[in-house]
Amino acid sequence: MAQNFIGGGGSVCLYAFEDMDGWLVAPASHTKSDETQVPFGQGVEVTISRSNNAERIYGVGARNATATINKQFGGTFTINGALSNAYWMLGVLGANADGGTTGAYTHTYTEANILPSFSTTTSFELGTTDFASDLIGCVINTCTISAAVNEALKFSLEGTYRYENLGTTKTSDIPDVEPIFTFAHGSIEMPDGTTIAAVQSFELTIVQNAEPVYGVGSRFMTGVVAKNREYNFTMTAAFNDYTDLLTYFMNGTSSATAPDAGSGTEIATLELTFTNDDGDILDINLTGIHLNEETLPQNVGEVVKEDVTGWARACTNIIYTNDVQTAPAAATNIT
């Protein structure tokens, strides 16, 4: 068998949540998860970037560098796809409780201060000698969920990883069997019970402001600290009622006639619900909503659409309901 150049279809990317005790040991001993690996979704695209953060050493006596040193190892990942399962939400919010009954199991993700890390295996079928890389200590820094008319619900996960082990065993693919959520499956209520009609697009970005911590004695991260958390969103809706968004921008209610003289009132809740063809539900419940910017362009050649940007102060929960009883959970393979 020869060595082949391949397209992305000849590669695989799967992940499993790790034992957090791995962060207590040296990077080389940070064992990858032994939990069953799962796919991130369907239509997945993966970009792994590595940096030695190398530096050329210059000094008097020579124009050329006299040495090169490696500084901190920097590994980052970006994983995009069509949202068909939300199991990775454990790495975004931090905690999960499974519930429900046969045929309708709920996975309720809630906020935690420590972000569970996961091991990601990328592998490539190259022919005689395949290639695989286990990325250890993957922590999600930014999660974006976006939806627009005529599109699938999409996700994007960006983060950093701690360590990496290379090998030559290609992993068999595990295709995601969960149906894809689409924008047509969605509804947006702000506050709960008040559906915003004719939403054209919505994007929610959850930012962890996670900072890798390095220490003396190692090039590799010793931990990742999730600092202040942000839930930012943008929304565009076809305009036919100024009380849908504009009055909420003015004072947080549907009855404003002028901007609030003070800090205004928070909108209690914002709920995004998507129900796919299988009846699976992704229910995102945000609270403490504030609209920060509003734009209402008038152009003879375009439908009048209103744009708003804002944020939520917190996420009550994200409930993912499907047919699977137990969502992927952290491993316990490190003693």
**Site for other proteins (CB under 8 A): which residue of 126, 235, 317, 328?**
317
Query: How far are the Cα atoms of 40, 43, 59, 71, 110 from residue 89, in angstroms, in the given order?
Result: 10, 18, 49, 32, 9
Closer CB to other proteins, residue 132 or residue 286? 286
**Site for other proteins (CB under 8 A): which residue of 104, 174, 184, 314?**
104
DSSP state of 18: P
Quick one: which of 189, 187, 169 has its CA closest to 124?
169
- Burial label, 63 (beta-carbon count in 10 A; 0-12, 13-18, 19+): exposed
Alpha helices in 214-293 (DSSP H): 246-251
Instruction: Indicate whether 319 belongs to the interface with other proteins (CB under 8 A).
Output: yes
Closer CB to other proteins, residue 192 or residue 293? 192
Give the contact letters, 161-200, x = binds to other proteins (CB under 8 A), - = no.
Answer: ----------------------------------------
> 173 - beta bridge partners?
none
- Interacting stretch for other proteins, rule CB under 8 A, among 57-65, 93-101, 178-186, 225-233? 93-101
222: left (phi over 0), alpha (psi -120 to 50) or beta: alpha
- Interacting stretch for other proteins, rule CB under 8 A, among 26-34, 95-103, 218-226, 324-332? 95-103
Sign of the torsion formed by the C-alpha atoms of 320, 245, 312 and 119: positive
Instruction: Indicate whether 84 belongs to the interface with other proteins (CB under 8 A).
Output: no
> 164 - beta bridge partners?
135
Query: Is the distance from CB of 164 to CB of 308 less than 8 angstroms?
Result: no
Closer CB to other proteins, residue 318 or residue 331? 318
Tell me which residues in 263-302 interact with other proteins (CB under 8 A).
275, 278-281, 283, 285
**Site for other proteins (CB under 8 A): which residue of 22, 308, 321, 330?**
321
- Interacting stretch for other proteins, rule CB under 8 A, among 123-131, 206-214, 302-310, 320-328? 320-328
- Burial label, 172 (beta-carbon count in 10 A; 0-12, 13-18, 19+): exposed
CB of 39 to other proteins, least distance (A): 21
Instruction: Indicate whether 117 belongs to the interface with other proteins (CB under 8 A).
Output: no
CB of 318 to other proteins, least distance (A): 10
Closer CB to other proteins, residue 105 or residue 131? 105
Quick one: which of 45, 20, 233 has its CA closest to 139?
20
Closer CB to other proteins, residue 278 or residue 293? 278
**Site for other proteins (CB under 8 A): which residue of 85, 108, 121, 251?**
108
DSSP structure string for 70-127: --S-EEEEEEEEE-S--TTHHHHHEEEEEEEETTEEEEEEEE-SSPPPEEEEEEE--B
CB of 188 to other proteins, least distance (A): 16
Closer CB to other proteins, residue 110 or residue 156? 110
Residue 97: HSE in the Cβ half-sphere, 13 Å Cα cutoff: 6
**Site for other proteins (CB under 8 A): which residue of 99, 127, 167, 297?**
99
Please give the structure tokens belonging to residue 172: 């068999």
Neighbours of 3 (CB within 10 A): 10
Instruction: Indicate whether 101 belongs to the interface with other proteins (CB under 8 A).
Output: yes
Contacts with other proteins: how many residues (CB under 8 A)?
Answer: 20
Instruction: Indicate whether 247 belongs to the interface with other proteins (CB under 8 A).
Output: no
Which positions touch other proteins (CB under 8 A)? 99-101, 103-106, 108, 275, 278-281, 283, 285, 317, 319, 321-323
